Amino acid sequence: MGKDVKRINAIIRYCIKIEDAMEEFGNDEEDFIDNPFYRDVCSFYLSQIGENTKSLSPEITKRYSEVNWEDMMETRNTIAHGYEGIDFEIVWSAINKKIPKLKKTCEKILKELKL
């Protein structure tokens, strides 16, 4: 469980970094699409979330099946290997819709693991 706690903490940190980027650069899709630095920062953080997800134990991913862990890993692979073919509208959707839910679930997981 120690490795899971470490990975979940890292996922939460990257969720917070995405929230911070959105606060700094704006919560507007057009701003996101038009700003390569903003896109790259958020894409990197999503990639790191996926990388940490890959290392979670099967017990965690099964127990907390409300998160589509497979989707997180696929997003990482798409970003890491997609190069110029990344669909930033999908990235925007992920950071707006999936990240807040993921962060909330990971905070719940941490609380339960520490009991």
pLDDT tens, N- to C-terminus, the chain (115 residues): 789 999 999 999 999 999 999 999 998 999 999 999 999 999 999 999 999 999 999 999 999 999 999 988 888 878 877 756 788 888 899 999 999 999 999 999 999 988 6
Q: What is the pLDDT of residue 83?
A: 58
Q: What is the pLDDT of residue 46?
A: 94
Q: Are 53 and 73 in contact (CB under 8 A)?
A: yes
What three-state secondary structure class fits 76? helix
Q: What is the pLDDT of residue 101?
A: 94
Instruction: List the structure tokens of 105.
Output: 């679930």
Active site residue 7: no
User: What whole-number distance in Å separates Cα of residue 107 and Cα of residue 26?
Assistant: 25
Active site residue 13: no
Q: What is the pLDDT of residue 115?
A: 63
Q: What is the DSSP letter of 95?
A: I
Which position has the token pair 């609380």?
Answer: 111
7, 13, 63, 76: the active-site residue: 76
7, 13, 63, 81: the active-site residue: 81
